[in-house]
Amino acid sequence: MTYPGPVPIPPPTPPTPPAFPELRDSDDVQGNILAGFRKDRQSFLFVQLADQASGRTWLSELAPRLASTRQVATFNASFSRARRAGGGDPEDLGAVWVNLGLTAQGVQLLANTALLSPEPGDDPYLNGAHNRAAITGDAGPSAADNWLFGRSEQRIHAVLIVAADRATDLQSELARQRESLARHGATLVFEQAGATLTGARRGHEHFGFKDGISQPGVVGFDEEDEATPGQVKDRPGTDLVAAGEFVLGYPDQSGAASTLEWLRNGSFLVIRRLVQDVPGWWAQMIEQASADQEQGGLKPDQLAAKAVGRWRSGSPLDKAPEADRRSGRDSSQDNNFDYANDEDGVRTPRFAHIRKVYPRNSPTPGEAEAQRHRIIRRGIPFGLQFDPAEGRGHGVDGPRGLIFAAYMADIARGFEFLQQRWANAVDFPEEADGADPVIGPSSVATIHREDGPVRQVAFGQFVRTGGALYAFSPSISTIGRLSRGEL
Ligand code: N7H
């Protein structure tokens, strides 16, 4: 008798990717994830709920007010059309949007049965941002004990992002939300206001640099450019990335998709209050530039542009390495570049903020790897702009910075990886390149030149963490089910 041998085990059938509707029309994915709120005023409300029953009634009252992707995308399209036609922001078009995020504590409180693993392991969401300080490098003045929100003893279940075009609309919506929270016995643990800067600094962050230029394109949300497949139409240089990198339940860049039903159409949200020392940042540029004169000379403005990877106008160093030469006001090509012919970082240093956090096609780590660590940024500045002559609060007496808010499908692979493995790492992408001079720790960075020896520049740390929270922005249907006790 012959022995039959082991019976072959059929390979597991891969999960069938979920149906892929046009995400632009989604009534289920909350607004702000794929379609940004893009409002000049936004407030973040950090909420502690009283108990399960009152939390659910609060949620059922809130649910109809939450913005969907379809609503925000439709509004943004009409706003852009009106702007192009009228040459400025249309005064008569305004909206008020609300987005909800729940912390792991919040989901535990609201759900019927345990949706989350009882062991946090090394899951960032289950642990909470304060328990991840060793990963993100939040020590000393950035230590979690000093945070305004997200400290270990605070119990935050939910975060609301309320956004409006007009100050009066924002104030009435905030009043309504506070009243509803109070009526359901909830506590407002912290309220953080944000507003875009004004005048010539509109669209710029506090150090003075234009922000909001580069975002990933999302398959199923952004239209592909026929002439340059893989890129977004009318946004030259913007690569299309799989939706599953940002929204759960869709295939990501590796083809994998989360199969947990309640997570589908949701996205993880990282919020950080990043306090910026504006005079300190510029003083170091002036000091370092004058020290550099002996070596051939860089002006403070040039050094600061090297730290960021763009000029203050937003024009990328890759296109204008020596001076900000962008012609006129045409910003359409500001994202149309890569690092293919700049391996050593002669034009855009390898430590530059935008190259650290999105190395595009740099050989290290390579384009495929770079696309596995993308995030959608929805931050907004807070505090008054630095201008001591303007009076109280405009000098060193007032705090200012960026409310960094970003959506992603995986916090460990998204925000934490960018911060820990790339921005904070002196040896990424190559040995002794230096840490990210915007969000990394103090370090000595290496500037490469076309001909001539490399230069060393010592950058300090002028951004500190003053609050942080990890949340999950569930789909609108999951929020409904949580509110009805069906999950
Ligand atoms: Fe950064 N800055 O003013 O220097 N950022 N950032 N950021 N950032 C960007 O390209 C800034 C922070 C990213 O696609 C620009 O749209 C400041 C954190 C990513 O090429 C400027 C702070 C993380 C990009 C700044 C801060 C990131 C980006 C250029 C904190 C994630 C897109 C504008 C106070 C860990 C890169 C633009 C790309 C761009 C600044 C924080 C990530 C000017 C001041 C914490 C992915």
The per-residue pLDDT for range 237-284, each reduced to its tens digit, is 999 999 999 999 999 999 999 989 999 999 999 999 999 999 999 999
Atom of ligand 1 minimally distant from the CA of 307: 4
Pocket probe mutation, ligand 1, options 197, 210, 211, max atoms within 8 Å of Cβ: 211
pLDDT of res. 328 = 56
Any ligand 1 atom below 6 A from CB of 419: yes
Residue nearest to atom 33 of ligand 1 (CA): 211
pLDDT of res. 292 = 67
**Model confidence over 69-117: pLDDT tens digits?**
999 999 999 998 888 887 777 777 889 999 999 999 999 999 998 899 9
Q: How many Å lie between the centroid of ligand 1 and the Cα of residue 258? A: 28
Atom of ligand 1 minimally distant from the CA of 355: 20
pLDDT of res. 259 = 87
Any ligand 1 atom below 6 A from CB of 378: no
Any ligand 1 atom below 6 A from CB of 213: yes
Of the pLDDT bands very low, low, confident and very high (cuts 50, 70, 90), residue 326 is confident
Q: How many Å lie between the centroid of ligand 1 and the Cα of residue 381? A: 12
Highest mean pLDDT among 89-93, 329-333, 383-387: 383-387
Q: Please, which residues have CB within 8 angstroms of residue 280's CB and are 6 or more apart in sequence?
A: 460, 462
Q: How many Å lie between the centroid of ligand 1 and the Cα of residue 45? A: 23
Residues 371, 195: Cα–Cα separation, whole Å: 30
φ and ψ of 463, to 5 deg: -125, 125
Atom of ligand 1 minimally distant from the CA of 401: 34
pLDDT over threshold 70, residue 5: no
Pocket probe mutation, ligand 1, options 196, 377, 382, max atoms within 8 Å of Cβ: 377
Would you call the peptide bond into 429 cis, given omega within 30 degrees of 0 as the criterion?
Answer: yes
User: What's the predicted TM-score (pTM) here?
Assistant: 0.95
pLDDT of res. 47 = 98
- Residue 416 in contact with residue 124, Cβ under 8 Å? yes
**Model confidence over 400-430: pLDDT tens digits?**
999 999 999 999 999 999 999 999 999 999 9
Q: What share of the chain in percent tops pLDDT 70?
A: 94
Q: How many Å lie between the centroid of ligand 1 and the Cα of residue 346? A: 20
Any ligand 1 atom below 6 A from CB of 304: no
pLDDT of res. 392 = 95
How large is the average pLDDT for residues 340-360? 97
Residues 221, 25: Cα–Cα separation, whole Å: 8
pLDDT of res. 83 = 82
Please classify residue 29 by burial: count the beta carbons closer than 10 Å to its beta carbon, then call 0-12 exposed, 13-18 middle and 19+ buried: buried
Q: Which residue has the higher pLDDT, 22 or 215?
A: 215
How large is the average pLDDT for residues 54-81? 96
Residues 80, 59: Cα–Cα separation, whole Å: 32
Any ligand 1 atom below 6 A from CB of 407: no
pLDDT over threshold 80, residue 6: no
pLDDT over threshold 70, residue 368: yes
Pocket probe mutation, ligand 1, options 201, 317, 357, max atoms within 8 Å of Cβ: 357
